């Protein structure tokens, strides 16, 4: 988006930043290189959104805040670093927009955001619910993020909706774990029966006025559109469908977002995954601009 790279947050509306961390992945590594790939792909983005009739850059003062510090190999230390670096952005009332990084980073983001907004509503577009209790004895990795967030009181599950879940799982109860926490889970099969507007209406009914954190995992997209990700699942969604779902969310109280799990080393020759992620981020910023 060619936003200026600054660390002075005076007069800033939106801070876009990277979190280049992928220690908590379980299959393909590489999301640590996601932020730079998304930045590169965003160079083609232009300021005016013709569908929403809003000039995103004119409406919002957007800066690239650079990458937050991380400690490869140490998830807990990385969480502390993210929380410390993100706190000034959130305290200043600036809209935070993160580029991952694997999905474990979202837990640290939610910890900071909850100190300002209280428990948030989660709107998640993802092939996986990320509500396992543990994985090979690990309680903090990219598949346990929202279980930990619910346990810590960072989210209001009854005001949250996860959509796009699909693919093979280890046991019949894997998705039931998310529902038992109180999340509404819309599988990929069910989501395909809804129009974008019907999906948007379901989300608005669910979240109400609760402050919303929107988390977009690029594996929501079919690997034909986004091969560069850590845990790809076939029978996903097209970029056109994803954009339509996001645009249908106008009117929600969006207070922060992230786009995660871009792994450039597995991307196609045209870097289509990074391009998709950059455009998703732009769509999310357009939603925020509409509310200003």
pLDDT tens string, the chain, 292 residues long: the values are: 678 777 789 999 999 999 999 999 988 999 999 999 999 999 999 999 999 999 999 999 999 999 999 999 999 999 999 999 999 999 999 999 999 999 999 999 999 999 999 999 999 999 999 999 988 788 888 989 999 999 999 999 999 999 999 999 888 877 889 999 999 999 999 999 999 999 999 999 999 999 999 999 999 999 999 999 999 999 999 999 999 999 999 999 999 999 999 999 999 999 999 999 999 999 999 999 999 8
CA angle 3, 229, 265 (to 5 degrees): 80
CA 176 to chain centre: 22
| pLDDT of res. 55 | 98
Residue 5 lies in a domain: no
Q: Dihedral of CA 236/283/116/118: which sign?
A: negative
Domain containing 230 equals 14-291
Residues 6+ apart with CB under 8 A from 159: 121, 206, 207, 208, 210
Residue 204 lies in a domain: yes
| pLDDT of res. 136 | 79
Residue 126 burial (CB count, 10 A): 23
Tokens 């993020």: give the residue. 145
Q: What domain count does the chain have?
A: 1
- CATH number for the domain spanning 181: value is 3.40.800.10
β strands within 79-183, DSSP E: 95-100, 121-125, 161-165
Residue 214: beta bridge partners? 123, 257
Say if residues 131 and 181 touch (Cβ distance below 8 Å): yes
Residue 22 lies in a domain: yes
Residue 2 lies in a domain: no
Cα distances (angstroms) measured from residue 75 to each of 79, 81, 146, 251: 6, 10, 16, 35
Give the integer Cα–Cα distance in Å for 289 and 36.
24
Q: Are strands 54-55 and 48-49 parallel, antiparallel or unpaired?
A: antiparallel
Residues 6+ apart with CB under 8 A from 180: none
The H or E element spanning position 205 is helix 196-207
The stretches of 120-257 forming alpha helices (DSSP H) are 145-151, 174-180, 188-191, 196-207, 239-247
Tokens 């599988």: give the residue. 187
Tokens 């305290």: give the residue. 91
Give the integer Cα–Cα distance in Å for 189 and 193.
7
> Is residue 61 exposed (0-12), middle (13-18) or buried (19+ Cβ within 10 Å)?
middle
Residue 256 lies in a domain: yes
Give the integer Cα–Cα distance in Å for 225 and 110.
28
Structure tokens at 233: 């699942």
CA 97 to chain centre: 9
């Amino acid at each position: 988006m060619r936003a200026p790279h600054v660390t002075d947050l005076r007069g800033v509306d939106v801070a876009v930043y990277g979190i280049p961390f992928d220690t908590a992945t379980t299959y393909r590594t590489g999301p640590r290189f996601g932020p730079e790939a998304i930045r590169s792909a965003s160079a083609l983005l232009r300021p005016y959104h013709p569908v929403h009739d809003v000039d995103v850059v004119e409406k919002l003062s957007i800066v690239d805040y650079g990458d937050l510090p991380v400690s490869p190999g140490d998830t807990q230390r990385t969480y502390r670093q993210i929380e410390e670096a993100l706190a000034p952005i959130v305290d200043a009332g600036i809209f935070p927009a993160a580029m991952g990084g694997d999905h474990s980073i979202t837990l640290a983001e939610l910890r900071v955001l909850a100190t300002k907004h209280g428990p948030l509503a989660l709107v998640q577009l993802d092939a996986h619910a990320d509500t396992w209790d543990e994985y090979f004895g690990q309680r903090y990795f990219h598949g346990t993020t929202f279980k930990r967030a619910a346990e810590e009181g960072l989210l209001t599950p009854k005001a949250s909706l996860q959509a796009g879940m699909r693919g093979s799982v280890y046991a019949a109860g894997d998705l039931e774990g998310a529902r038992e926490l109180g999340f509404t889970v819309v599988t990929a099969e069910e989501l395909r029966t809804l129009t974008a507007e019907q999906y948007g209406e379901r989300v608005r009914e669910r979240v109400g006025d609760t402050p919303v954190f929107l988390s977009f995992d690029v594996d929501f997209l079919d690997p034909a559109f986004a091969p560069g990700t850590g845990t790809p699942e076939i029978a996903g969604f097209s970029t056109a469908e994803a954009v339509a779902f996001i645009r249908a969310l106008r009117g929600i109280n969006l207070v922060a977002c992230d786009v995660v799990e871009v792994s450039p080393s597995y991307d196609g020759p045209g870097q289509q995954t990074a391009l998709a992620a950059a455009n998703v981020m732009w769509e999310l910023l357009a939603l925020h601009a509409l509310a200003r």
